[in-house]
Amino acid sequence: METKRPLILITNDDGHAAKGLHKLTALMRTLGDVAVISTDEVMSAKSHSCTIHEKLRVRLIREEAGFVEFRCNGTPVDCVKLAYQKLLPRNPDLVVSGINHGTNAASTVVYSGTIGAVVEACMNGLNAIGFSLDSLSPEADFGHTDTAVLQITKRVLKKGLPQGVCLNVNFPKRSDEPLKGIQLCRQANCRWVEYFKEQFDENGEQYYDLSGELVSDDIVSGTDLFAIRSNHVAVVPTCYDWTAHACLETMKDFETISI
Amino acid sequence: METKRPLILITNDDGHAAKGLHKLTALMRTLGDVAVISTDEVMSAKSHSCTIHEKLRVRLIREEAGFVEFRCNGTPVDCVKLAYQKLLPRNPDLVVSGINHGTNAASTVVYSGTIGAVVEACMNGLNAIGFSLDSLSPEADFGHTDTAVLQITKRVLKKGLPQGVCLNVNFPKRSDEPLKGIQLCRQANCRWVEYFKEQFDENGEQYYDLSGELVSDDIVSGTDLFAIRSNHVAVVPTCYDWTAHACLETMKDFETISI
């Protein structure tokens, strides 16, 4: 008797034309039925934002046996909401996002549209994984990611993830050496140091161009940044409970503040 | 000898005209020198998004002794980045965001532009507090929040917050009863159940309107939702480490996956 193929929902934040999306789609089609819902525009750094003030539009792009593709003018989070609540015949067995062009390791996760989609799925009880590559190049080489993407996905399809937990998977840029293996990591602490370059437009009006670099004093064993730098695949079990639980004891004196 | 007044940076996600922003500004001006940088547009549900593909513009609106106001076309996170990196003469002693029209309690924190700004400040080593009221009304009554906003702010100005921790403070809607006090809470688990209403524009093209309601099966003692419903001020110590730390042991088998 044939086992039912799993239904896998794919989205990303680099838009429908991204090489990383096509790579992930090709890989997932070997594992199950696939629905892709990507964004019209590049949605990098859109975090967990969703569309509440503009008109949200969706177009069916392609449909064939075991495959359907939509495109949406919203954010990655909108894509996930729309897909599982309106567009798909049933809840997907898994939501995957990526493969992102650019790392989503360490604290930069807070800016990520790729991981926004993953967290949204997780909040709704769906298994979800975000895949990212430490290269911003549109022509980035994803060839070294195939086996790990497939094996991690198979593991999650088979055993599921704990409730309230999704995966943030980051790959190092391709090097001459093969990947050394998977490391289960905590998110390293880091921040962007930005440069706001003052520019002037054609009307002489000032604006700012944002650029910057990632700085971290936390690239130590056990972190995702350390894993990537040593050519490992970094897997961070990720949650949306932002409570600093240790402080629930140490800051108890707040309850004595007279209001 | 006169003590130097603290410098307090204020932003929000409801835009420059919001009543909650004006309330927070009036309160903070009794405690220190104040810089307001708000957004041109309403930025609700913009989460931690920042502007990397559009031109970021800032205008000086008003400047007087101990007070300066800017307005920006970006997101609340852009406001914080711009303010402390470009616009202010020195790092603010405190960043406050709000008072938001609408709750940012429980897991809805992930969507919040108000809290996006607070987390951004926290990532850069600044003390930061987000204030929100459980009422979406533009004319909401903030009269019951004054003492708690002032006292919590004074406490943070005096003693600071632990590194990597900011505060997400949520007020119940004003009722006939006075507030019962402050509760230090964990973030309750919840999710939005959305309705995507199919609409048609003037050209007959379909679009979706997003609306929805918050559902939670976690309104239990110790959570922010429980505190608010019992007319307490909910204070959640909040962090940007999203690692599901307990899973670093339980999911160790991921490291045995052959890639």
Q: A203 or A236: which carries more pLDDT confidence?
A: A236
Judge if ipTM > 0.90.
Answer: yes
Which chain A residues are closer than 8 Å to B259 by Cβ?
147-148, 151, 179, 181-182, 233
Bigger pLDDT: A70 vs A42 = A70
For testing contact with chain A, the best of B39, B48, B195, B200 (most A CBs within 10 A)? B48
Q: Both ends of chain A: CA-CA distance in Å? A: 67
Read off the pLDDT of residues A88-108 as tens digits, 9 standing for 90 and up: 999 999 999 999 999 999 999
Q: Do B257 and A107 touch (CB under 8 A)?
A: no
Supply A231's token pair.
Answer: 């050519």
Chain A: residue whose CA lies nearest to B256: A182
Q: What is the pLDDT of residues B86-123, one digit of tens each?
A: 999 999 999 999 999 999 999 999 999 999 999 999 99
pLDDT in tens, A164-216: 999 999 999 999 999 999 999 999 999 888 888 889 998 989 999 888 888 99
Three-class DSSP labels, chain B: CCCCCCEEEEECCCCCCCHHHHHHHHHHHCCCEEEEEEECCCCCCCCCCCCCCCCECEEEEEEECCEEEEEECCCHHHHHHHHHHHHCCCCCCEEEEEEEECCCCHHHHHHCHHHHHHHHHHHCCCCEEEEEECCCCCCCCCHHHHHHHHHHHHHHHHHCCCCCEEEEEEECCCCCCCCCCEEECECCCCEEEEEEEEEECCCCCEEEEEEEEEECCCCCCCEHHHHHHCCCEEEEEEECCCECCCHHHHCHHHHHCCC
Report the pLDDT averaged over residues A212-237: 96
Bigger pLDDT: A3 or A251? A251
* Separation between Cα atoms, residue B221 and residue B200, nearest integer Å: 45
Q: How close does chain B come to A1, measured CA to CA in Å?
A: 28
CB contact under 8 A, B123 and A116: no
Which among A107, A151, A237 has the least Cβ separation from residue B251?
A237
The C-alpha atoms of residue B36 and residue A186 are separated, in whole angstroms, by: 36
| Whole-prediction pTM | 0.95
3-class DSSP state for residue A123?
A: helix
The owner of tokens 């730098």 is A229
**What is the arithmetic mean of pLDDT over A151-167?**
97
- Which residues on chain A are in Cβ contact (under 8 Å) with B53? 42, 44
In angstroms, rounded to a whole number, what is the distance separating the alpha carbons of residues B97 and A230? 39
Cα distance between residue A118 and residue A84, in whole Å: 13
Size of interface A-B (CB pairs under 8 A): 236
pLDDT at A2 over 80: no
**Sequence letter at residue A236:** V
Cα–Cα distance between A170 and A184 in angstroms, integer?
Answer: 11
What pLDDT does residue A90 have? 93
Closest residue in B to A77 (Cα) is B111
Query: CA-CA distance, A182 to B253, in Å (whole number)?
Result: 10
Q: B111–A49: do the CB atoms touch at under 8 Å?
A: yes
Low-confidence ranges of chain B (pLDDT < 50): 1
State the Cα–Cα distance between residues B201 and B208, nearest whole angstrom.
Answer: 10
